[in-house]
Amino acid sequence: MTLSPVPDDDDLYELVVVRHGTRTGLRSEAYLSYATYGEPDGPQTTDYYLWVARNRSRTMLIDTGFAATPAARRGRTVLLPPATAYRELGVDVGAGHPVIITHAHWDHIGNLGLFPRSTFHIAQAELDFWTSEAASAPLLSHFAERDEVDRLVRLHRLGRVTTFVSRASPAPGIEVVAVGGHTPGQSMVTVNTLEGVVLLTSDVVHFTEELERRMPFISVTDLPGMYRGFGLVSELMSSGAVRRIVTGHDPCELDHLLRLTGPIGEHAGVIGALPGTPIRSNS
């Protein structure tokens, strides 16, 4: 697709939210120590997303979704293969667009190999952790794919991975902030859009309920850090520093978004659509 010639500023983006996979499990599989709450168990849908921030000057990819093989092994349903999503969005995977990696779990770094010329931005703590002895413990390694982490390490050796300690601005209008909690370098991203600053929490917050009721996700490396992350997100919202948040896995994320035209619109919504972006008229 093409964007209109001018009205967007260099540091103002549209944020495309792509749902590429799904799984329905149990609440007790999603929330840590669920029995503590004394509530009945029930179904919990987890959706899988990748994100694209773009304007007429640049495209920034944020996470790359999961790969088909581990998804099948882990019983996830593929709604739209990420490679297809990028193609339908008009993202040229060979163009060297930078990629922010919010953390190195399998469902966020599954397709790095699609991007032969890209550089990748990740928190130093995340890279350090996954190359440490501790990461091989089963309760931690379960959430990563060895070959995908190895690819990340190889890319780092090749000089294609840029790390940051607490925060970085890989492009004007986009900031990535290391928060920790879910993983040691779990990061979230702010994107400046026509609808204000959007906070893409990634897995600092998986589900809206997780944030609202302070119910940590089942996979965590630093529990106090995870609670601090909730506090930080809430503070950013209540102070007005961010206009809205987009969580990492809530099945409702696309519900109120404008949908793109064409088949991709089934799986993709857009926040702060730039002039010229084709939007479904009935959305």
Where does this chain bind Zn ion (CB under 5 A)? 107, 203
CB of 117 to Zn ion, least distance (A): 26
The answer to whether the CB of 126 falls within 8 A of the CB of 101 is yes
What are the residues facing 25 on neighbouring strands?
A: 44
Nearer to Zn ion, 47 or 88 (CB): 47
Neighbours of 6 (CB within 10 A): 9
DSSP 8-state class, residue 159: T
Shortest Å, Cβ 46 to Zn ion: 8
β-pairing, 99-100 vs 77-78, is unpaired
Distance of closest approach, residue 249 Cβ to Zn ion, in angstroms: 6
Instruction: Dihedral sign for Cα 5, 11, 12, 13, please.
Output: positive
Q: In the bound complex, what is the minimum distance in angstroms from residue 118's beta carbon to Zn ion? A: 20
Shortest Cβ distance from residue 202 to Zn ion (Å)?
Answer: 7
As to burial, measured by CB atoms within 10 angstroms (0-12 exposed, 13-18 middle, 19+ buried), residue 246 is: buried
Exposure of 187 in the CB half-sphere (CA atoms within 13 A): 30
**Residue (105 or 259) nearer to Zn ion, CB:** 105
- Identity of the residue, 8 or 107, whose beta carbon is nearer to Zn ion in the bound complex: 107
Phi-psi region of 180 (alpha: psi -120 to 50; beta: other; left: phi over 0): left
Q: In this complex, which beta carbon is closest to Zn ion, that of residue 203 or of residue 250?
A: 203
Beta carbon nearer to Zn ion, 148 or 203: 203
